[in-house]
Chains A and B, each alone.
Chain A
Amino acid sequence: MDTAHIRNFSIIAHIDHGKTTLSDRLLHRTGTISDRDMQEQLLDSMDLERERGITIKAHPVTMRYVARNGETFELNLIDTPGHVDFAYEVSRSLSACEGALLIVDAAQGVEAQTVANVHLAMKHDLAIIPVINKIDLPHANVPQTKQQLEEILAIPADMAILASAKEGIGIDEILEAIVARIPAPKPTGVAGLQASCFDSFFDTYKGVVTHVRIFNGELRPGMAVKLLYSGKSFEVKEVGSFNPKPYARERLEVGETGYFTANIKSPKDVKMGDTVTDNRTPAPALPGFQEIHPMVFSGLYPINTADYEHLKASLAKLQLNDSAFVYQAESSVALGFGFRCGFLGLLHLEIVQERLRREYAMDIIATYPSVVYKVRLSDGELKEIDNPAFLPEVTFIAEIHEPMVKTFIICPNEYIGDMMALISEKRGNLDHTETLDARRVMLTALVPLNEILIDFHDRIKSLTRGYGSMDYEHAGYRASDMVKLDILVNGEPVDAFSCIVHRDKAEGRGRALAAKLKEVIPRQQFAIAIQAAIGGKIVARETVSAFRKDVTAKCYGGDISRKRKLLEKQKEGKKRMKSIGAVNIPQEAFIEVLKA
């Protein structure tokens, strides 16, 4: 296909604004999929993606569209992960496009996530086609949505296409707009092949299947290619596109989107954003490459220490299709051998844990998540700390810097006060507020990442009765007065419960943690002291009182079997607990402390 007839675009939208339904409509209208294959949420192939209504893996799909002028176009829809945790992936996907459909729900209006994603799309100079979706809903408010587009996003409202993906309204207009308004790919003009890797997955037979956008030259089987950042060279075995199932093609030409395989055994050899060039005459790298840096770390440990090898194998398999997920072996005094895992964000962490439990049937304990702190020591050395256990002694620390995020909160007017209180509770600074329309405002605030990790989003949802939405962008580091909070169980520090918190919050959090643990640690035949300590100073104490007996008195011949089974069950239950010294701590305790 000549480049003039190729369009590469993605779709950006808030959750539930109809991205998936619209994608399916486009596939159907262009004849890419038949009625029979019109399965709900076609592009999100993981169960988890469907359940949560989010896209984790990006799939490019190639469609053939005969436009009203009679010419045939190749439309490549590059789906993007919808969540801010995957901002780098989003930016890689967007950089493979020349345009984007921006979907806004006519009833809900512009949401925080829409703002963040539009900012990203604008950074990549994409042509944006606003689509006001769900106009068929009785409470759709098109004029107001148009006003928001202009005022919040600075997008001319008369550009907007009115649509209902569910009812099939506006689909043709959207396809025509893609052809008319999105520019055709322009070759970069350098000699030879230049292609950008924007995603990959692992196939047992073919190895790593890399998704690429060709910016210059062409990619054919048999070519020797080099990946510029990883420095590895491979011989291309197969190239192709998706419809949405993969199919092999003779070549991928300039401007096109598809995949290639090259017997690549390790997903680590293909870095997102890397440039593929001809091995003999390497072209310069495409801009925008970054190493992916995990933002959130948590220790994952098998409940049963015997499952360590199983966990290790499961993590390796999981990483094959999730190159943003990193892990390395670590050990904890409390939990034994496990892995320090890095995630792009909290959602990413939850997804990985959930997949381990579901797909790999692993019983795991996850430690309190930590962000990456930059610690400057008294001798000038700079350390990055992602595990509270490795925070140096206070006396050696000159300064601690914590990561910040710029967060956008959109909520109905009446909740401004609650949101401002929440921002200040979370140690944030309100930057400015904007009125979106008669009933909603957007607050922009600078908040420490550490504070939004656990319950920020949930709190916004509950404070605003579900009407509020939130998103964020990373915003560098700031010096903060952080301290390490330790939890001691019968005098022994439980490293898995340690966390780094701001000094002003340490005592409150220590008290809350101790109280929570008192609830979840079962009584034993001795009293259990739970203490919270900051730098060796005890700030809170709770006691789980001893139970004085456990024996039920009566036990004769007919009772033995039943009694034995009961005891066996108890014993089995204790095996699923972690013993810290002589104290058994149930799995729930490790989960509950996340909520304390």
Chain B
Amino acid sequence: MTAIDTGPVRHLYVHVPFCAHKCEYCAFYSEAAQGELVNRYVAALVRELELVAADLRPRTIYFGGGTPSLLNLRQWETILAALARLNVSGADEWTVECNPATVSPDKAQLLRAAGVNRVSMGVQSLDESLLDRLGRIHSREQVFRSFDILRRAGFANVNLDLMFAIPGQTMAVWQATLREALALGSEHLSSYEVIYEEDTPLFEQLRAGRCDVNEDLACAMFEELVATAEAAGFRQYEIANFARHHGLAGAEVPDRACRHNVNYWRGGSFYGLGPSATSYVRGVRTKNWANTPLYCEQLEKGRRAIESTEELPPLGRAGEIAAFGLRMNAGWPFAEFECVTGFDLRGEWAGDMAWLGRQGLGRIAADRFQLTPRGLRFADLAAERFLRP
């Protein structure tokens, strides 16, 4: 592997597979929290941490889910203590995802004191009826209250997750949600169009014809998002991600971009712990069992709970890294790409870049290739072209 990827792994993801209630759109692995299973999970997670700690010196940590904020104080204490004992805490960027209904001042203070410095809050909407439609357990009031709690606990870096093109959502409702959310003054904004994933209630509704997709409206909402966020001082750095920037104008990504996620798009190594979590370490991708009891059982026997392993040939891996890196506004600087993958983008992919250029979807600059704003809308098409067997 290349220079960047030698030495201990710099990024850690922890999956917390519990939710109070499964949302209508969610295809992530999670289950309803039952007290005993959660404790068993916490113990297994600590065991898994112990197994990989020697190869881990994280600059970023990300607790996602599920609903990490659903863990109680005692469970958090156990995990945080283990991180400290194994010398893997103290990352530069340490994010925990929170549901606005499960943020308490105690929990916020505990996390902050342990070194967590970023919170990602799953707001999704500020319209009560839409929150209901999505099966979210929180109310709009809870969003404002939780945001306040986080700020008072000292979190100076907060992300808000918003959804658009929700069945029943009008442009006016979307504009109101955007305006109110931005008014909170968060440092980061992630916003996604509703995805109808198979095996979700929402998908079933779509198939049964109980809701439908209005592509034109979805596009207009996305345009509204980009314009409104930029007017509020955010810089888009990935298809669905916006962050504030205070530093130099020419920076690759804004200061408040989520470093952890940037690492994914740049093809960097990371450990993913917890049920169903994916790791990608020096070119080898592994996926844990998406079944919490099974996951626990494996770790109780002292081995990692890996369900599958995938290792692409060098060109295939480079193609994948190229494809997903293009989701970022900065595109791929040729030098960086070569450093990460060992391949020159201008060699193998010259035809694809030229084709995208001709279609008005890509731009070939002296030092990089990047998608145009229109190209970002067709990032899947671009990605498809860059993939290699």
Contact = CB atoms under 8 A, between A and B. Distances in A.
Interface in A518-534: 525-526
Interface string B6-19: 00000001010000
B323 A552 contact: no
A519 B263 CA distance: 42
A567 B384 contact: yes
Interface in A562-576: 563-564, 567-568, 570-571, 574
B52 to A, nearest CB: 15
A550 B385 CA distance: 13
A568 B361 CA distance: 20
B83 interface: no
Interface stretch (B144-152, B244-252, B375-383): B375-383
A555 interface: yes
A551 B377 contact: yes
B387 to A, nearest CB: 6
Nearest to B220: A548
A525 B380 contact: no
Contacts of B239: 551, 553, 555
A525 B278 contact: no
B240 interface: yes
A457 to B, nearest CB: 38
A552 B191 CA distance: 11
A154 interface: no
B285 A561 contact: yes
Interface in B335-389: 359, 361, 376-381, 383-385, 387, 389
B261 interface: yes
Contact of B384 (A553, A561, A570): A570
Given A548-B216, A548-B219, A556-B264, A564 B379 contact: no
Contacts of B237: none
A247 interface: no
Contacts of B381: 525, 550
Contact of A549 (B13, B191, B377, B387): B377
Nearest to B308: A561
A558 interface: yes
A140 to B, nearest CB: 52
B13 A557 contact: yes
Given A547-B215, A554-B192, A560 B320 contact: yes
Given A550-B378, A550-B381, A551-B379, A557 B272 contact: yes
Given A555-B327, A567-B383, A571-B387, A561 B240 contact: no
A430 B361 CA distance: 60
Contacts of A548: 215-216, 219, 377
B380 A568 contact: no
Nearest to B327: A555
A542 B193 CA distance: 30
A558 B272 CA distance: 8
Nearest to A523: B215
A550 B377 contact: yes
Contacts of B191: 553
B256 to A, nearest CB: 17
B383 A549 contact: no
Contact of A557 (B264, B376, B384): B264
Nearest to B193: A553
A554 B240 contact: yes
A562 to B, nearest CB: 9
Nearest to B258: A556
Nearest to A567: B384
B36 interface: no
Interface string B279-292: 01000010100000
A552 B310 contact: no
Nearest to A582: B359
B332 interface: no
Contacts of B320: 560, 564
Given A549-B219, A560-B264, A561-B278, A567 B310 contact: no
A549 B192 contact: no
Contacts of B61: none
A556 B261 contact: yes
A570 B239 CA distance: 21
Interface of B: 13, 15, 191-193, 195, 215-216, 218-219, 222, 239-240, 261, 263-264, 270, 272, 276-278, 280, 285, 287, 310, 320, 323-324, 327, 359, 361, 376-381, 383-385, 387, 389
Going nearest first, the 3 A-B pairs with the smallest beta carbon separation are A553-B192, A549-B377, A557-B264
17 contacts: A526-B359, A548-B215, A548-B377, A549-B377, A550-B381, A551-B239, A551-B327, A551-B378, A551-B379, A553-B193, A555-B239, A556-B264, A557-B270, A558-B278, A563-B383, A564-B387, A567-B387
Given A561-B287, A567-B323, 5 more contacts: A549-B218, A549-B219, A557-B280, A567-B380, A571-B385
